[in-house]
Structure 1
Amino acid sequence: MSLSSILLKRLQLPRRIIAAVNVYGTRSFTTTEGHRPTIVHKRSLDILHDPWFNKGTAFSMTERDRLDLRGLLPPNVMSSEQQIERFMADLKRLQLSARDGPSDPNNLAKWRILNRLHDRNETMYYKVLIDNIEEYAPVVYTPTVGLVCQNYSGLFRRPRGMYFSVEDRGEMMSMVYNWPADQVCSTCKGPYFCWCFMDIMFSNMSSSYNIFRVTCRITFYVIQGLLTEARDNIDPDARPFARNVKESERQGLREGAKLVEVVQQVKPDVLLGLSAVGGLFSKEVLEALKSSTSTRPAIFPMSNPTKNAECTPEEAFSIVGDNIIFGSGSPFANVDLGNGHIGHCNQANNMFLFPGIGLGTLLSGSRIVSDGMLQAAAECLASYMTEEEVLKGIIYPSISRIRDITKEVAASVIKEAIEEDLAEGYREMDGRELRKLNEEEIKNFVMNNMWIPEYPTLVYKKD
């Protein structure tokens, strides 16, 4: 589906960046290139208290002797598979008893249990996630992550990674050196606390990419009403989207017009919500959307967590009709429309893109993430969807394919970086060698550098 890629290219939204930093130490990660022993400069309890290197009962007897661990662990040696089987059994049993009471949602209880595993054993934590990604993606990411943020002060147990706040502006570069690591990787996200309409004329669907080629006209609406140039003290980031007063008047709209009025007059094809106001797409608003000029209007209540979604899929399908395209920020169950028909609830989740964009940028050696690299990533994701799926209203692939999707997206990002002459290479694969690779070789290069959560052999070396 084209909306992801086209929005990136057409809207050109201003970006405000916040950084959540993921920090890697000197650990040698296990990739498909093979296993390499990892040199560590700690032993005994220091190893067991370090989630990067701790294996728990999976330490072999040889490693226990080498790292002064004999006697500090139960004598039984378990495989990683046995550890995960035991953890999953405990998780099913403990997820209810770990609740703080009736106000503690079940997914938040699961998050707390998984986070304890994360604190003591990183490798096992990620293996559990990869093997059960469909079940636990909503726990460690949207929508539960929203609840975690809201309750973070009570859930915090130990520091992880680095923390940057607005008070640290001007000091961030020096702060990075406080972390004892050779490499620091950051993930950035631009938040947009608003929502808008898009009038979209679908002129052609590409059978190769199933990408809609569109012309977009945006009506920008904030909680205080329709945004026009007549408004005082417009936020600088929103100013480019302020609607011309005369144009609005020709449509019978005034500054600050209510949402339902705007929908009635604009007759939008896409309703995109990023307001964080639950229920904002009311019955009246959805009723007004039935006059859309599109035969398949799209409704995207993107706000998180779930209680902040502008509407539910049941409301959207029951009021607007069975022919809508529905995508949301939080996961919802599909809607049974009767007569064997299903209303598909797509989760418009950036986790389909962020890992591949980050990995592709890293492996390409590009110093920037260009608009073209983002466009390539979005188009790659769109190519996963068949025309038959899109016609059914399915516009995102299954989360169970996330590892393969990440590989494909990363390869597309690398190809674009090469085409834009941004690729400088990674480790032994310098920019010159990278440019010699064909499409299949680039995918193999990506796959060989994807981390696999397996325990490395640890070898102690004195500082």
Structure 2
Amino acid sequence: MLSRLRVLANLGNVARRFVHTKEKGKALLLNPRTNKGMAFTLEERQILGLQGLLPSKIETQDIQAARFIKNLNKMEDPLEKYIYIMGIQERNEKLFYRILLDDIERLMPIVYTPTVGLACSQYGHIFRRPKGLYISILDKGHVRSILDNWPENDVKAVVVTDGERILGLGDLGVYGMGIPVGKLCLYTACAGIRPRACLPVVIDVGTENTALLKDNFYMGLYQKRDRTQLYDELIDEFMEAVTDRYGRNTLIQFEDFGNHNAFRFLKKYREKYCTFNDDIQGTASVALAGLLATQQVINKPITEQKVLFLGAGEAALGIADLIVMAMMENGVSAEAAREKVWMFDKYGLLVQGREQGVDSNQESFAHSPPNQSVKSFLDAINVLKPTAIIGVAGAGRLFTEDVVKAMSAINERPVIFALSNPTIKAECTAEEAYTWSEGRCLFASGSPFDTVTLPDGRCFKPGQGNNAYIFPGVALAVILSGVRHISDRVFLEAAKALAEQLTPEELDQGRLYPPLSNIREVSLCIAVKVMEYVYRKGMAFQYPEPLDKDAYVRSKVWSTDYDSFLPDMYTWPEYASKPHKMF
């Protein structure tokens, strides 16, 4: 034992010289990136000044994960679960992602939709410690210096929101920070992108939410949302500051901006920066993947679908544009493809010359009015006779029993996508869709629903059209291939790659998407397919081109295994001249 302690002491002296720039002692335990809790080995505790700061037991990560799950299972309230899970992220990053990956099907609805919406609405009330970067309109002219305050120097992906349209909850201002934080958790959990390479940002220009402006716990500016030219200048400055610090091909994902700003920023920046809007392009890709999956069930190609949207905002228009692109790839003209897509919003059917008008983003899907009168969504179904209805209005239960039965009368296998989030905003539940259609519908939702068992004993596992199937894999491919501008075609390729991963058994169960439990493998496969496409089309700038892209992608995946804090002894000058054993 005495000999062992002498070796540890000598080794400690060497290690202290070697790791003089590293954190040691309690600082290691307070940093979630370095904290391993009781998993620090005896040698690490001796060398890094941790002896006595931890109980004597040395635990495995397995035991730590089991403790977490045991505690989580005692909780019933979703918000309580969110606070507990995100608290682990604040204390032990690798354990957090290990736990998330182990049971992602159960935990994703907590760290992301639908519970993240509830967490955002209460963000100031459950606030523990800041995550990400907060940039306000008052910081205009100093954004670059604020970015310098972020401690990481190798950021590859930024998710930014201004909090104006958080899920289906509306304007939550800086409370919207929960969305970029949650999105980037999935960058890591689903696609293995290093957490330190991810930066969540909220742009604070005020809020129109009068309840928040009266809330003592609100954390943002107490002012109405700035809609002047200063807002645009702030976003311009932010985009330039990010790429100035981290590089021109830094991925910037826009999230939950208001409809008007979402479309114009995408148009303004897409050819200048490496950027995409998940609400427009990510939602489009996952919805199209669901439609492509239905082809395998009903043997009806995408070109024979006639789609009616409930809603005509950024999600509907993004999906519609990608459907048109998919039809065009299969030989249909753009004009003919658009004729197969209709929209119904709060003002009624989207048609030319309607009293409420049509904005510039909607014009290509505003058709001549049909011969018959259409006053309701049910009327639209009976007149237009769509094969698929897609709900993205965020207005609640508008896929009524009459609507579903009308679709079932027109189609042997009606396609019903209730994609609005969170769950309370869904157009119908899975149970309602399967029951009212007598089990004939092909159903997908934005929020998760449990398995549905009909009175005759048939069971259906509803698919969740979750953007998390798309954006992590796309982001990984973009980062690894050095793409500078992200085309809509990338999201078409991602949709096709997602649909291809369904097995016949999963389709028989009623699934239109692979199980969420397999999302890491799904994301990696999408990344490979997207990389193959961008290199083939000359869109990649990272060379030499990997010959085996699958092996290359998998080699870059971040591991949740704990790092060793003991450097190789043979790299140390004092020990390099002769062999040594640690004990």
- The TM-score, its normalising length taken from structure 1, stands at 0.76
**Mapped partners of 1:458, 1:371: distance in 2:** 44
Determine if contact 2:408/2:441 at 8 Å carries over to the other structure: no
Residue 350 of structure 1: aligned partner? 467
Determine if contact 2:278/2:471 at 8 Å carries over to the other structure: no
**Mapped partners of 2:536, 2:301: distance in 1:** 21
**Mapped partners of 1:67, 1:299: distance in 2:** 58
**Mapped partners of 1:341, 1:379: distance in 2:** 29
SS in 2 for 1:157: coil
- Identity between Structure 1 and Structure 2 (%): 32
Is 1:113 paired with 2:81? no
Match of 1:262 among 371, 380, 386: 380
Match of 1:453 among 550, 560, 578: 560
Letter in 2 for 1:159: P
Q: Using a 3 Å threshold, how does the CA distance of structure 1 residues 259 and 145 change in structure 2: closer, same or farther?
A: same
Letter in 1 for 2:436: I
Match of 1:76 among 57, 77, 100: 57
**Mapped partners of 1:163, 1:378: distance in 2:** 33
CA apart distance, 1:338: 3.4
Q: Using a 3 Å threshold, how does the CA distance of structure 1 residues 326 and 235 change in structure 2: closer, same or farther?
A: same
- Cα deviations by residue, 1:127-148 (Å, 9 ceiling, x for unpaired): 0111122221221122212211
Residue 192 of structure 2: aligned partner? none
Letter in 2 for 1:237: N
CA apart distance, 1:168: 7.2
**Mapped partners of 2:364, 2:140: distance in 1:** 26
Is 1:186 paired with 2:158? yes
- Cα deviations by residue, 1:368-418 (Å, 9 ceiling, x for unpaired): 222232222211111112356436532111112112112211111111110
Is 1:237 paired with 2:354? no
- Cα deviations by residue, 1:31-86 (Å, 9 ceiling, x for unpaired): xxxxxx99963222222111111111111222223222222222222111121122
CA apart distance, 1:205: 5.0
Letter in 1 for 2:563: P
Residue 369 of structure 2: aligned partner? 248
Determine if contact 1:327/1:346 at 8 Å carries over to the other structure: yes
Q: Using a 3 Å threshold, how does the CA distance of structure 1 residues 67 and 376 change in structure 2: closer, same or farther?
A: same
Match of 1:295 among 412, 420, 427: 412
Match of 1:333 among 431, 446, 450: 450
Determine if contact 2:347/2:356 at 8 Å carries over to the other structure: no
Q: Using a 3 Å threshold, how does the CA distance of structure 1 residues 403 and 165 change in structure 2: closer, same or farther?
A: farther
Q: How many matched pairs?
A: 392
Residue 99 of structure 2: aligned partner? 128
Q: Using a 3 Å threshold, how does the CA distance of structure 1 residues 212 and 158 change in structure 2: closer, same or farther?
A: same
Match of 1:156 among 127, 140, 143: 127
Q: Using a 3 Å threshold, how does the CA distance of structure 1 residues 206 and 310 change in structure 2: closer, same or farther?
A: closer
Is 1:402 paired with 2:383? no
- Cα deviations by residue, 1:165-223 (Å, 9 ceiling, x for unpaired): 7887887666433312112212424436x99x99xx99x9579x997454551211112
SS in 2 for 1:372: helix
CA apart distance, 1:107: 2.3
Q: Using a 3 Å threshold, how does the CA distance of structure 1 residues 170 and 280 change in structure 2: closer, same or farther?
A: farther
Match of 1:41 among 22, 32, 42: 22
Letter in 2 for 1:248: P
Letter in 2 for 1:345: P
- The residue correspondences of 1:55-74 to structure 2 (distance < 5 A) are 55-74=36-55
Q: Using a 3 Å threshold, how does the CA distance of structure 1 residues 235 and 355 change in structure 2: closer, same or farther?
A: same
Residue 497 of structure 2: aligned partner? 380
Letter in 1 for 2:425: N
Q: Using a 3 Å threshold, how does the CA distance of structure 1 residues 249 and 351 change in structure 2: closer, same or farther?
A: closer
Instruction: Out of 359-368 and 170-179, give the one that drifted further.
Output: 170-179
Identify the structure with the greater helix proportion.
2
Residue 315 of structure 1: aligned partner? 432
Structure 1: segments with no counterpart, 5+ residues = 1-36, 97-105, 426-430
Larger radius of gyration: 2
Q: Using a 3 Å threshold, how does the CA distance of structure 1 residues 433 and 285 change in structure 2: closer, same or farther?
A: closer
- Cα deviations by residue, 1:303-337 (Å, 9 ceiling, x for unpaired): 11111111112222222332110000011112212
**Mapped partners of 1:190, 1:365: distance in 2:** 19
**Mapped partners of 2:80, 2:420: distance in 1:** 22
Structure 2: segments with no counterpart, 5+ residues = 1-17, 160-252, 254-276, 305-326, 328-336, 568-583
Is 1:221 paired with 2:328? no
Identify the structure with the greater strand proportion.
1
Letter in 2 for 1:451: W
CA root-mean-square deviation:
3.2
Instruction: Out of 336-345 and 38-47, give the one that drifted further.
Output: 38-47
